[in-house]
């Protein structure tokens, strides 16, 4: 064994000896803190007993489940593992998720939290800075509630617009999703709380999520979903990665040697720990060998594989002790790296008012104005009579269901279409009523509300009003996909009836992802407000009345209808299960090679399909124009630039976008987003924006060489407002190059 010497001259061996005798006060010892997280983890592992190690690598639910009570020491959350108090290692208190600190089944009675808007809405801001701020907010609340691991960081690409969890993810583009996920992870971890990224990988649908195998060729996966993870991990350095429920090319994600050992820990040199999803561990030796480090939500698995069975396997040499040490080292290293040991999570006051402002900022900038004929919006504050219809706009804004469900104080629950499924039995409205916020924007108006249940009655009320705002909703949730892209519950008919009664009708959509709009030609204005979180109502009203100039851009393509999708029909959910533990009912696979790496807008371009609204699209109350596209190779970097001008009469924020394609080459590719900027411009002003392109975005993955390869030749550069409107064109020559995987 080599003896490494720390910077202060302590040898690690003497450090471990000190650990054995000293109490956990060692953690606060400044000389120990100067050791690297790797050194500290290694030293602690040396001092741990076999039982202590085993106790860290499997977690039960942190709340009562069936006959199993809440584990002793758990605060009450998704999962818990006892720490090693004698060595100063805190218990793992793990909570969901990206949108805020959850409180499943009210296990911590009355404990509320700030709800960020959906991740899809965050993606619509195209703002790494807001992602970081949101992460800091969630990390602060988690820490102050006693949590040191957040199961945040969902980054699966939207391959299936009907996926019930799209709201937890960041859209269809790997650069956008990876960049934003990385920033929110970094934000959480800056508060001494480990963040996760999940669900690794290709966990693209909820229908049969525990049965499905995602079939896709390596190169296509590397250029799409895996790239999103790779970018998120590089940027955010998450302490843990959670595998998906699904199988990937035949093997469950939690025991997938290719995904974990080869790609994540091999090619990407990932140093954190890999946890399974809840009840998604299927084996002991296969999983341990593939690189799984922690069995999570073990109550749902047929066995606590990583408990007594793992101990026995280590004692019998079937799993090398070094592998167990590696599991534990990875967990401890991540705790040290984010400061979870030196700055342990503990109860503290939370400034909910300040945190709600973070949620508001994301919501205000993530709202996407989809249509605005004849300047229907902004609405005049002088309107005399305003009619608000539908979606419980009198009580709050919609949120998505499942494990990520956050419940701010004053949330209102209504029964969901799944009343017998306690996990998603309720639809939760966050307490930021649009009705109240609209009244506040137009204090002298008579603002009236109708539920929209009887659309003749709603249409009658709408007649003659100065403005009518119909709130339409699509509730989505973990474990269930939506059956199609129609607004449910006859809302299309409601909108048609109201629009016929009053031409000044604005539709505000609250959806997890795209929906069809058969009424689009009949309404002058449409606003996509997603699931808008703790201050959603206020944010929506600010945009409707123009106090905020809308600046959100679609992070996903809105199709005309399902026939445009790579898989027009979905498997009947009745023939599948999404429940862990029931997966043996019938395995099946889903062919993601149809679109391959061409997810979302790339598919539409490749197939020559015209979507309803393209990726990157969104209007403003002002207008922007683009000029002077430049494309240079500087050193080995491709640098692109353009000028953006605000040619309207209001200050506004634009998101100019750069794309590169290489359709002439044999191994070419359709347009890919390679960079963007967000600029706020006063009327008449011009700003030059430029981006340096990540070379992997102009490469193809060569799976024979196990490397990225940039083909030599000419590439098309284009720039503009979205994936379809790119008025600026240029060419640039690149030389052949191989890059590390």
Q: Are 722 and 663 in contact (CB under 8 A)?
A: no
Those residues whose C-beta lies under 8 Å from the C-beta of residue 121, and which sit 6 or more positions away, are 362, 363, 366, 367, 530, 531, 532, 533, 552
Nearest to 295 by CA among 306, 284, 286: 306
Comparison of 127 and 578: residue with beta carbon closer to ligand BGC: 578
Please tell me the distance from the alpha carbon of residue 494 to that of residue 388, in angstroms, as a whole number.
Answer: 13
Q: What is the largest CA-CA distance in the chain?
A: 85
Comparison of 151 and 398: residue with beta carbon closer to ligand BGC: 151
Comparison of 270 and 278: residue with beta carbon closer to ligand BGC: 278
Helix (H, G, I), strand (E, B) or coil at 716: strand
Comparison of 111 and 484: residue with beta carbon closer to ligand BGC: 111
Comparison of 274 and 517: residue with beta carbon closer to ligand BGC: 274
Please tell me the distance from the alpha carbon of residue 353 to that of residue 539, in angstroms, as a whole number.
Answer: 15
Kindly state the tokens that stand for 12: 């690690």
Comparison of 296 and 657: residue with beta carbon closer to ligand BGC: 296
Comparison of 168 and 394: residue with beta carbon closer to ligand BGC: 168
Label the pairing between strands 194-200 and 149-150.
Answer: parallel
Q: Are 275 and 301 in contact (CB under 8 A)?
A: no
CB of 278 to ligand BGC, least distance (A): 4
Kindly state the tokens that stand for 126: 């195209």
Phi/psi for 627 (5° steps) reads -155, 170
CB of 7 to ligand BGC, least distance (A): 37
Comparison of 96 and 441: residue with beta carbon closer to ligand BGC: 96
Order across the sheet with 149-150: list the strands: 79-81, 92-95, 149-150, 194-200, 240-243, 273-275
How far does Cα 723 stand from its chain's mean position? 21
Comparison of 151 and 379: residue with beta carbon closer to ligand BGC: 151
- Where do contacts with ligand BGC occur on this chain (CB under 6 A)? 78, 96-97, 151, 198, 277-278, 403
Nearest to 132 by CA among 338, 358, 349: 358
CB of 578 to ligand BGC, least distance (A): 9
Residue 533 has what DSSP assignment? G
Nearest to 127 by CA among 187, 192, 167: 187
Comparison of 226 and 300: residue with beta carbon closer to ligand BGC: 300
CB of 147 to ligand BGC, least distance (A): 13
CB of 63 to ligand BGC, least distance (A): 10
CB of 61 to ligand BGC, least distance (A): 8
Q: Are 82 and 53 in contact (CB under 8 A)?
A: no
Please list the residues that pair with 634 across neighbouring strands.
637
CB of 277 to ligand BGC, least distance (A): 5
CB of 399 to ligand BGC, least distance (A): 16
CB of 76 to ligand BGC, least distance (A): 12
Please tell me the distance from the alpha carbon of residue 676 to that of residue 661, in angstroms, as a whole number.
Answer: 16
Residue 264 has what DSSP assignment? I
CB of 142 to ligand BGC, least distance (A): 13
């Amino acid at each position: 064994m080599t003896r490494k010497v720390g910077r202060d001259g302590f040898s690690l061996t003497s450090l471990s000896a000190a650990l054995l005798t000293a109490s956990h006060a060692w953690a606060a010892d400044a000389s120990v803190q100067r050791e690297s997280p790797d050194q500290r983890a290694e030293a602690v592992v040396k001092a741990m007993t076999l039982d202590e190690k085993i106790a860290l690598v499997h977690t039960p639910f942190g709340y009562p489940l069936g006959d199993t009570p809440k584990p002793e020491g758990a605060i009450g959350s998704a999962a818990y593992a006892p720490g090693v108090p004698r060595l100063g290692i805190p218990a793992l208190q793990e909570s969901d998720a990206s949108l805020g600190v959850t409180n499943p089944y009210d296990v911590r009675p009355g404990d509320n939290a700030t709800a960020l808007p959906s991740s899809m809405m965050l993606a619509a801001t195209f703002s790494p800075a807001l992602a970081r701020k949101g992460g800091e907010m969630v990390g602060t609340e988690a820490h102050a509630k006693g949590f040191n691991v957040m199961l945040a960081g969902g980054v699966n690409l939207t391959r299936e617009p009907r996926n019930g969890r799209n709201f937890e993810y960041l859209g269809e583009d790997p650069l956008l999703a990876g960049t934003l996920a990385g920033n929110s992870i970094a934000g959480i971890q800056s508060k001494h709380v480990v963040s996760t990224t999940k669900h690794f990988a290709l966990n693209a649908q909820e229908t049969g999520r525990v049965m499905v195998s995602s079939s896709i060729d390596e190169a296509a996966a590397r250029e799409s979903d895996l790239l999103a993870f790779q970018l998120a991990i590089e940027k955010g350095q998450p302490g843990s990665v959670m595998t998906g429920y699904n199988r990937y090319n035949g093997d469950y994600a939690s025991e997938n040697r290719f995904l974990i050992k080869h790609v994540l820990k091999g090619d990407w040199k990932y140093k954190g720990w890999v946890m399974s999803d809840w009840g998604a561990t299927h084996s002991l030796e296969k999983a341990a060998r593939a690189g799984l480090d922690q069995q999570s939500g073990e109550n749902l698995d047929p066995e606590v594989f990583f408990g007594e069975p793992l101990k026995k396997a280590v004692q019998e040499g079937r799993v090398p002790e070094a592998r167990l040490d590696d599991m534990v080292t990875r967990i401890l290293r991540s705790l040290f790296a984010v400061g979870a040991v030196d700055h342990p999570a503990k109860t503290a006051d939370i400034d909910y008012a300040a945190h709600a402002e973070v949620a508001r900022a994301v919501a205000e900038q993530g709202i996407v104005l989809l249509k605005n004929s004849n300047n229907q919006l902004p609405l005049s504050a002088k309107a005399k009579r305003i009619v608000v219809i539908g979606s419980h706009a009198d009580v709050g804004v919609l949120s998505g269901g499942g494990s990520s469900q956050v419940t701010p104080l004053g949330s209102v629950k209504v029964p969901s279409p799944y009343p017998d499924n306690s996990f998603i039995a309720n639809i939760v409205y966050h307490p930021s009523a649009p009705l109240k916020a609209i009244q506040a924007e137009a204090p002298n108006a008579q603002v009236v509300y109708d539920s929209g249940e009887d659309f003749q009655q709603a249409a009658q009320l709408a007649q003659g009003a100065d403005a009518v705002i119909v709130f339409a909703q699509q509730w989505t949730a973990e474990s269930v996909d939506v059956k199609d892209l129609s607004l449910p519950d006859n809302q299309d008919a409601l909108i048609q009836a109201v629009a016929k009664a009053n031409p000044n009708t604005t539709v505000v959509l609250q959806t997890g992802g795209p929906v069809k709009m058969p009424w689009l030609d009949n309404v002058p204005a449409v606003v996509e407000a997603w699931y808008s979180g703790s201050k959603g109502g206020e944010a929506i009203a600010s945009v409707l009345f123009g106090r905020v100039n809308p600046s959100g851009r679609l992070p996903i393509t809105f199709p005309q209808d399902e026939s445009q999708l790579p898989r027009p029909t979905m498997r009947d959910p009745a023939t599948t299960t999404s429940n862990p533990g029931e997966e043996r009912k019938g395995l099946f696979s889903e062919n993601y090679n149809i679109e391959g790496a061409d997810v979302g807008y790339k598919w539409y371009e490749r197939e020559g399909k015209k979507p309803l609204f393209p990726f990157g699209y969104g209007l403003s109350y002002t207008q922007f124009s683009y000029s002077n596209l430049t494309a240079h190779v500087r050193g080995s970097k491709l640098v692109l630039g353009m000028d953006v001008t605000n040619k309207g009469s209001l200050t506004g924020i634009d998101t100019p976008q750069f794309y590169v394609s290489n359709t002439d080459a044999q191994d070419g590719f359709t347009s890919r987003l390679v960079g963007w900027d967000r600029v706020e411009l006063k009327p008449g002003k011009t700003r030059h924006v430029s981006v340096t392109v990540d070379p992997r975005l102009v490469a193809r993955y060569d799976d024979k060489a196990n490397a990225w390869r940039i083909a030599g030749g000419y590439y098309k550069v284009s720039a503009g407002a979205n994936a379809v409107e790119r008025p600026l064109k240029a060419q640039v020559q690149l030389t052949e190059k191989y890059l590390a995987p």
